[in-house]
């Protein structure tokens, strides 16, 4: 059982919170049974830039954590993935936003059970190495998959699920149709 009540903080309290964000299905449209292998494959979700602007103002840290098994499957290289992320970076930059406070990806195959691959918590622990002031009880994981929610469970983070009709499970503290809807909850 959780040692803290699961609630979303008020906007004025978010500066004490760290926001961990999944990529596929949250920031960009999910590609069923495939990966954004090149920049033109990546389509940002409508409203994501404005939502990220608000998130960056609200939260102490905004950290990207994403499984990218396509690299491990050799469907794309680390360089290909960097080019995909460069598309996100350029979209943010062109809209007056900096990149995430940190960004981590796990290129490992699911069968490897690597500590960095969600639902394992290696990427979150690395985030805490970068930012020792991260408090797990004041952290939120936003994702669309069960592995995102299980990752949050491993460190008792608040679990925010973004709708993805491809996934059917019920293991979240809060459910929103999109990241923009989640951010709008704070009514800034």
Where does the chain show beta strands of DSSP type E? Answer: 18-21, 61-67, 102-106, 139-143, 158-162, 174-176
Give burial (CB, 10 Å; 0-12/13-18/19+) of 174.
middle
pLDDT in tens, 148-157: 999 999 999 9
Structure confidence at residue 187 as a pLDDT band (50, 70, 90): confident
Kindly report the average pLDDT of the chain as a whole number: 94
Say if strands 18-21 and 102-106 run parallel, antiparallel, or are unpaired.
unpaired
Q: What is the pLDDT of residue 188?
A: 62
Q: What is the pLDDT of residue 5?
A: 61
Q: What is the pLDDT of residue 1?
A: 36
Phi and psi (nearest 5°) for 48?
-70, -35
Q: Which residues are catalytic?
A: 22, 24
Residue 3 predicted with pLDDT over 50: no
Prior bond of 153 cis (ω within 30°): no
Residue 2 predicted with pLDDT over 70: no
* Average pLDDT score over residue span 150-179: 95
Percent of the chain with pLDDT over 70: 97
Least confident of 12-16, 17-21, 29-33, 174-178: 29-33
Q: Any idea which fold 17-184 has? A: Rossmann fold (3.40.50)
* Average pLDDT score over residue span 123-145: 97
């Amino acid at each position: 059982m959780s040692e803290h009540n699961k609630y979303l903080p008020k906007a004025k309290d978010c500066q004490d919170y760290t926001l961990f964000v999944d990529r596929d299905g949250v920031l960009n449209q999910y590609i069923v049974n495939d990966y954004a292998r090149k920049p033109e494959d990546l389509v940002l979700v409508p409203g994501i830039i404005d939502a990220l602007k608000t998130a960056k103002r609200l939260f102490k840290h905004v950290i990207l954590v994403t499984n990218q098994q396509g690299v491990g499957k050799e469907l794309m290289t680390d360089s290909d993935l960097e080019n995909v992320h460069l598309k996100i970076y350029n979209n943010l930059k062109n809209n007056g936003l900096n990149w995430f406070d940190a960004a981590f990806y796990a290129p490992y195959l699911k069968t490897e059970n690597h500590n960095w691959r969600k639902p394992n918590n290696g990427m979150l622990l690395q985030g805490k190495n970068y930012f020792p002031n991260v408090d797990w009880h004041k952290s939120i994981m936003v994702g669309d998959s069960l592995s995102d929610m299980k990752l949050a469970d491993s460190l008792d983070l608040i679990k925010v699920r973004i709708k993805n009709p491809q996934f059917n499970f019920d293991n979240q503290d809060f459910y929103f149709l999109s990241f923009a809807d989640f951010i709008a909850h704070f009514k800034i």
